[in-house]
Amino acid sequence: MKTAIKIILLLLFVILLICVFLISGKSVRENNAGVSLYNNKDYKSAAKMFDEAFANAEQNYEIQNNAAAAEYKSGDKESAAQKYQRSADSSLISDKDRFDALYGLGNIAYADNDFDSALDFYRQALKINHNDMDAKYNLEKTLQAKDEKEKQQNRQNQQQNQEQKNKEQDQRQDRRAMEDLKRQMDENNKKQEANDEKRKESGQKENENKNNSQKNQNEQSGQDQPREQNEKEKQELEKQRQDISDKIEQEKKKQEEKLKEKRERENQQARKNRQERRDKAKEQDGANKDENKDQNKNNENKNQQNNAAQSLQNQNNEKPDDKKAVESPDDKKDDSSAEVLLSYYNQADKNSDKKRRRIKTPNISRPVRDW
């Protein structure tokens, strides 16, 4: 009876092991299939395949990080950030997977121009692996981008303050001009009122002097001159009014022209900013292309160097049949040419190492096969 129970328990244990092996094997196959899709740049299909693999192995956070990387590449930054954050917050995750999650969160924050959050994530990642060169490079590039953003913001604030000062100065000048015009109009009105009073007084005198014909005849010649003078003063006042109205219209036209000039300057500044952004994008694309060309050239140089080293090693391994035989001049030439070739490729490696230090775009953690 006891033997039968042991056999049954053993069978159950074997069945359980087989189930676990089948489930884990399925997740591994799905993960590898997702990696292949990722390498073929089919990021949406790769993300779905990684999600299916993680559903069968929920403790494998490397698969979840792979899914987040694929979603980031497909443009779904929000979902990618959520998965990276779940991996980083897990207490069961390994240091390597936690580093990848924090590194991915830093890249997403950098892409969204949230440089403060990106710096925080890169620093947390470097606490786990302080020797990672990509994280160090991204941290340095993020600091530069943050500094440039702050400088640009300061320039914009200064420009806005200057425009506000210019606007206030123009308004003050306009107010002064209007006050001067009002003052002139008030003075002209006072002069006109004084002339009207003079005309009234002269009219009263004429009425009083009508009864006396002799006085009217004597005063007739003297009254023509004040009338002509009054008419001249009227004409001068009308002319002054017309000049004042013309000045007001000119001031209005000047204000309209100033507004048009301001709008044109703002439009030119906007066009200039758009052109600068386009130029920066073109420079970034050109830098990426140059970097890819340099990497291809470095790979070709390394292959040529390995071939040259292999051929030199093969020549050294060949032993002469006769110990007393003397090397021919052709063999010496081959050895010297091989040494020259090796020194040339060593110099090429140094040049390629210098080119790698150029600024490049932040690296995205790529999925790696399990086994």
Q: What pLDDT digit, counting tens, does each position of 177-231 carry?
A: 888 888 888 888 888 888 888 887 777 777 776 766 666 665 555 555 667 777 8
CA 7 – CA 221 distance, rounded (Å): 153
- The answer to whether residue 279 scores a pLDDT higher than 50 is yes
CA 13 – CA 45 distance, rounded (Å): 36
Residue with tokens 């209007």: 178
Average pLDDT value for the chain: 76
For residue 140, the model assigns a pLDDT of: 94
CA 309 – CA 304 distance, rounded (Å): 9
For residue 143, the model assigns a pLDDT of: 94
Q: What is the dihedral of CA 72, 76, 81, 82, to 10 degrees?
A: -130
pLDDT band at 133 (very low <50, low <70, confident <90, very high): very high
CA-based nearest residue to 249, from 175, 172, 167, 178: 178
CA 196 – CA 202 distance, rounded (Å): 10
Residue ranges in 75-132 assigned as alpha helix (H): 77-89, 95-111, 115-128
Instruction: Identify the CATH homologous superfamily for domain 10-131.
Output: Tetratricopeptide repeat domain (1.25.40.10)
Return the structure tokens found at 150.
């702050």
Out of 29-43, 211-225, 266-280, 350-364, the most confident range is: 266-280
Residues 38-52 have a mean pLDDT of 83
CA-based nearest residue to 64, from 42, 80, 45, 75: 80
Cα 366–367–368 angle (5° rounding)?
115
Return the structure tokens found at 171.
């308004």
DSSP symbols for 308-369: HHHHHHHHHHPPPS-TTPPPPHHHHHHHHHHHHHHHHHHHHHHHHHHHHTS--PPPPPPP--
For residue 356, the model assigns a pLDDT of: 52
Radius of gyration (C-alpha) of the chain in whole angstroms: 46
Least confident piece of the model among 31-40, 273-282, 289-298: 289-298
For residue 24, the model assigns a pLDDT of: 47
Least confident piece of the model among 147-161, 184-198, 252-266, 279-293: 279-293
| Residue 278 or residue 319, greater confidence | 278
| Residue 209 or residue 369, greater confidence | 209
Q: Helices 77-89 and 95-111 sit at what angle, rounded to 10 degrees?
A: 150
| Residue 55 or residue 349, greater confidence | 55
Least confident piece of the model among 4-8, 66-70, 181-185: 4-8
Share of the chain above pLDDT 90, in %: 14
For residue 216, the model assigns a pLDDT of: 61
Residue 77 and residue 104 in contact, taking contact as beta carbons nearer than 8 Å: no
pTM greater than the 0.85 cutoff: no
Helix (H) and strand (E) counts for the chain? 9, 0
Exposure string of 256-276, with b = 16+ CB inside 10 Å and e = fewer, is: eeeeeeeeeeeeeeeeeeeee
For residue 226, the model assigns a pLDDT of: 64
237 Cβ neighbours under 8 A, 6+ residues apart: 188, 191, 192, 195
Residue 56 and residue 80 in contact, taking contact as beta carbons nearer than 8 Å: no
Least confident piece of the model among 30-34, 136-140, 198-202: 30-34
Question: Would you mind telling me the total number of residues written for the chain in this entry?
Answer: 371
Residue 175, Cβ neighbours under 10 Å: how many? 10
- The answer to whether residue 54 scores a pLDDT higher than 80 is no
pLDDT band at 294 (very low <50, low <70, confident <90, very high): confident
Residue with tokens 């004040």: 226
CA 368 – CA 35 distance, rounded (Å): 7
- The answer to whether residue 137 scores a pLDDT higher than 90 is yes
pLDDT band at 10 (very low <50, low <70, confident <90, very high): low
- The answer to whether residue 332 scores a pLDDT higher than 80 is no
Residues 343-349 have a mean pLDDT of 63
List pLDDT tens digits, range 95-127.
999 999 999 999 999 999 999 999 999 999 999
CA 314 – CA 307 distance, rounded (Å): 11
